[in-house]
Amino acid sequence: MTRKLLDIKRLLIAVTMCVAVALGAMAQADAAMSHFWVGQSYYNPAAAGNINAIHLNLGSRMQWVDFKHAPMTFYITADMPYKLLEQRLGVGVKAEFERIGLYTNTRIGAQLAWKRRFGNKTLSVGIQPGVFSQTFRGKEVIMPEGEESQGNDEAIPKNDVSGTAFDANVGIYFSAPKYWVGFSVTHVNSPNIELKVSRESIDYYEFNVSRSYYFMGGGNIPINNTLFEIQPSAMFATDTKAWTAQVATVMRYNRMLNIGAGYRWKDAVTAFIGVNLKDAFIGYAYDYPVSPISKATFGSHEVFVTYNVKLENREKNKNKQKCVRIM
> pLDDT tens, 52-73?
999 999 999 998 887 777 889 9
292 pLDDT tier (thresholds 50, 70, 90): confident
**Between 18 and 288, where is the model more confident?**
288
**DSSP letter string over 57-103?**
EEEEEE-STTSTT--EEEEEEEEEEEEETTEEEEEEEEEEEEEETTE
Dist. CA 107–CA 287, nearest whole Å: 25
Distance CA 269, CA 261 (A): 7
pLDDT in tens, 255-271: 899 999 999 999 999 99
CB-based burial, 174-191: b 16+ in 10 Å, e otherwise: bbeeeebebbbbbbbbeb
Q: Which of 11-15, 89-93, 135-139, 250-254 has the lowest mean pLDDT?
A: 11-15
pLDDT at residue 148, rounded to an integer: 55
Indicate the pTM of the whole model.
0.83
Evaluate whether 73 touches 98 at the Cβ level (below 8 Å): yes
Which CATH number applies to 3-135+163-197+204-311: 2.70.98.10, 2.40.160.40, 3.40.50.2300, 3.40.50.620? 2.40.160.40
How sure is the predictor about 158, in pLDDT bands with cuts at 50, 70 and 90?
confident
Q: Between 141 and 130, where is the model more confident?
A: 130
Residue 320 has what pLDDT? Answer: 47
Give the per-residue pLDDT at 152: 63
